[in-house]
Structure 1
Amino acid sequence: MTAQPIVEYFKNYLPLNKEEIKLLNERTKQRLIKRRQMILQEGFVCKHYTFVVTGCFKMYGTDEKGNAHNISFAAENDWIADLGSFYSEKPSKLFIEALEPSTILQIEKTDLLFLFVNVTKFDRNFRVIVEEKLIELQNRLLLNFSSNTQQRYTVFLEQYPNLAMRLSNVQIASYLGVTPEFLSKIRAQKPSK
């Protein structure tokens, strides 16, 4: 069953019945992704909601100097997509790249809209998922305005407890908006959880 990891994930929200699971399986594609492989590049339209079964991804943008700025990470049992591009069907300004070899499940926009219209649980489950991501983003913005790097790093460890050892200093520093050298000093002061 292709979509079984999503079925398990939805048990945290509104569980699916057999018919709903069948519809999900018919509209979900599994892909194996290599480390450093892009599933979205700047200038292309984001055509999928992606669920991470195994592995880890980063979503990032680049500035005019070509420096990457990590916006978010997604590892096992998490979703990743450029929602602005996905819904507007306009070219993305972001990249989504695998940091590890990964297995993902993807749902195309037309299939997702079909599920929203025909199975109200999908609409509700995805609304909660997007709301949770919005809250996460709001909290991160507030934290960036009102806290120091040490505090931001502590929150990062709380938000991504399993990623601190999987990500390089460069990836975490980009997310926090500091240099890798400065992050090394912070990490030396505070033991990881």
Structure 2
Amino acid sequence: MHDKLIVYIEQYSTLQLTNEEKALIVATFQPKKLRKKQYFLQEGDVCKYAGFIVKGAMRQYSVDEKGIEHIVQLLIENYWANDRESSTMLTASKYNIEACEDTELLILTRAEMLDLIEKIPAMAKMVFLMDERNSIANQRRLNSTISNTAEKRYEEFASNHPQFIQRFPQHTIASFLGITKETLSRIRKQATK
């Protein structure tokens, strides 16, 4: 199970881990299994762990005062599940993170992650690059949401994340894109013509 994480760290950082560093990673990251519909994090709780997804799929979402879900992240293998604001600020989370499939993760606390970043150069580089890419992705998503039509947003999503189309139900993808499932259904029908 840890082999996938070690490969991920080396590929992402482009640095090779020593045997000692690998042993420290294995000793620090703990396996966790979630059944479909089981929560990794619930709104109101402080996010105590970050989880590297080895197998499965998850969604991170909030629920507004009308009871409508707003999906902020879709997560599959080689993605990280976490509410950074809650974890960093030690505040109650605004989000739920729920398994959409039976999911296997490797988890660690924020303190453990900071310790690994300090001790392992590949971890530090990986986190730095992940932060940069996440910031770019969030900026692109925000720009797409405020300036593109629903059709263009779906087209970009399908092009950039084709694996998500097969893994998540249509209503989940619609929520992620900020459109109704009826609109998504119409867009997909038009695309097949």
Quickly name the TM-score band, shorter chain normalised.
over 0.9
Whichever residue aligns with residue 167 of structure 1, its letter is F
Whichever residue aligns with residue 90 of structure 2, its letter is E
1:1-193 aligned at under 5 Å gives the runs 2-12=1-11, 13=13, 14-191=15-192
| Unaligned runs of at least 5 residues, structure 2 | none
Q: How many residues align?
A: 190
Q: CA deviation at 1:120?
A: 2.5
Q: CA deviation at 1:121?
A: 2.2
Conserved? CA contact 2:9–2:123, under 8 Å: no
Q: CA deviation at 1:50?
A: 1.0
Alpha-carbon RMSD across the aligned residues, in angstroms, is: 1.2
Q: CA deviation at 1:164?
A: 0.2
TM-score normalised by structure 2 residue count: 0.94
| Unaligned runs of at least 5 residues, structure 1 | none
For residues 15 and 38 of structure 1, the distance between their equivalents in structure 2, rounded to whole angstroms, comes to: 34
Whichever residue aligns with residue 8 of structure 1, its letter is V
For residues 183 and 74 of structure 2, the distance between their equivalents in structure 1, rounded to whole angstroms, comes to: 21
Whichever residue aligns with residue 93 of structure 1, its letter is K
The percent identity for this pair of structures is 32
For residues 98 and 47 of structure 1, the distance between their equivalents in structure 2, rounded to whole angstroms, comes to: 17
For residues 161 and 77 of structure 2, the distance between their equivalents in structure 1, rounded to whole angstroms, comes to: 11
Larger relative helix fraction: 2
For residues 56 and 171 of structure 2, the distance between their equivalents in structure 1, rounded to whole angstroms, comes to: 18
TM-score normalised by structure 1 residue count: 0.94
Q: Which moved more, 1:94-103 or 1:117-126?
A: 117-126
